Amino acid sequence: MKKVKGRMDESILVCVYYGPNGERLIKRGCKIANMLDCPLYILTIDPKPFDELDAEKSFYISSWKELAEQHGAEAFILKDNEKRPVSKVIAEVAREKHITQIVLGQTAQSRWEQMTKGSIINTLLQEIPFVDLHIISVSRSVRNQEGLFEKGCRAYLVKENNQYRIQFTHSKAAKYEGIFFKEQGTDFNNGLFKFMENKETHYVQVVEDYVKDFTNVDITETIDESIQ
């Protein structure tokens, strides 16, 4: 049960885009919401359906949901398969949730500008002039996190002794169904297998066709190790 906020005349919306700065923005929004003792919402937008997102993006979304719960946010809002301009979606959520302050990072703002071919800031000022905008300066020296994995494909895990072998055709022996993200530059089936269990997203390491350990992989650590 969420704690009842002391102020309902203020409400914070944090807009996050993929990458390590998302957590920083969420924490900044949480700090403002705690100071004002008001509701907090976290929003991310993607033009693709959730099922088509790659391993990194899916991981960031899972992490942001956990942060939202940890900090007592009212809701984590994912607008997937969204074809409208980003600024229109942000403005719509702001109206629906009676938002009075929006937290947005410079890096995300730049990327979203490329997607929408316009200034998000200027458009938001026109769409929702009643909302205060907080543009947070974030590092632009973020290491490239793209290209580590190929596009995901449907795959299945079949148990063999004490381990599981990955295969790409369904059979009655399949124990798990999910998405396989193959590492680039390898001739073997090495990479990550993403699947759902108990309504949670899990990632496990695949090494030369087999999953030997079902320990959930930290995608950000895997990325950092791969690009050092």
Please give the pLDDT value at position 74: 94
Please check the confidence at residue 224 and state whether its pLDDT lies above 90. Answer: no
Domain spans, the chain: 12-136, 153-226
Is the dihedral angle over the CA atoms 42, 48, 51, 56 positive or is it negative? Answer: negative
Please give the pLDDT value at position 228: 36
Please check the confidence at residue 115 and state whether its pLDDT lies above 60. Answer: no
Please give the pLDDT value at position 104: 87
pLDDT, average across residues 69-93: 92
Please give the pLDDT value at position 55: 76
pLDDT band at 82 (very low <50, low <70, confident <90, very high): very high
Please check the confidence at residue 146 and state whether its pLDDT lies above 50. Answer: no
pTM, two decimals, is: 0.60
Please check the confidence at residue 196 and state whether its pLDDT lies above 90. Answer: no
Q: Quote the CATH superfamily of domain 12-136.
A: HUPs (3.40.50.620)
Please give the pLDDT value at position 33: 92
pLDDT, average across residues 89-98: 94
Please give the pLDDT value at position 199: 67
